[in-house]
Amino acid sequence: MATIFSRIIAGEIPSYKVAENDNFYAFLDINPLVKGHTLVVPKREVDYIFDLEDDELAQMHVFAKSVALAIQKAFPCKKVGEAVIGLEVPHAHIHLIPIQNESDMLFSNPKLSLTSDEFFSIAQSINKAWTEGQK
């Protein structure tokens, strides 16, 4: 059975996409720690990130870097933090989180409750910055 992320990539489940290429897909986390919290996933369904082939893992991080730079442009922050946990969904993924301090990365923090319009606006802002960065 396909993971929820594979179903999102296939368009079976809606998402707030911020970036995509042939191998990877980036979309907003629907339970964000902060505005701009984004997930980067490989289109190939692999449970554990370190089960990816070396070149695929490297390409995923290069793609994640381009998304992180777009997040930072859309949501000025000190840095964009990266976390790999991988227990909640059996599909490799990277969390990209705009941070002002270390505590912004605590997954035990309360999650934001955003409207569809807010999610759409955030995704649009990151996508615009990402698209400009690809030129």
The catalytic residues are: 93
Residue pointed to by tokens 């035990």: 108
What whole-number distance in Å separates Cα of residue 4 and Cα of residue 126?
A: 22
Amino acid in the structure at residue 69: L
Residues contacting residue 13 through CB under 8 Å, at least 6 positions apart: 4, 7
Strand 24-28's sheet: what is its strand order? 17-20, 24-28, 38-42, 94-99, 79-83
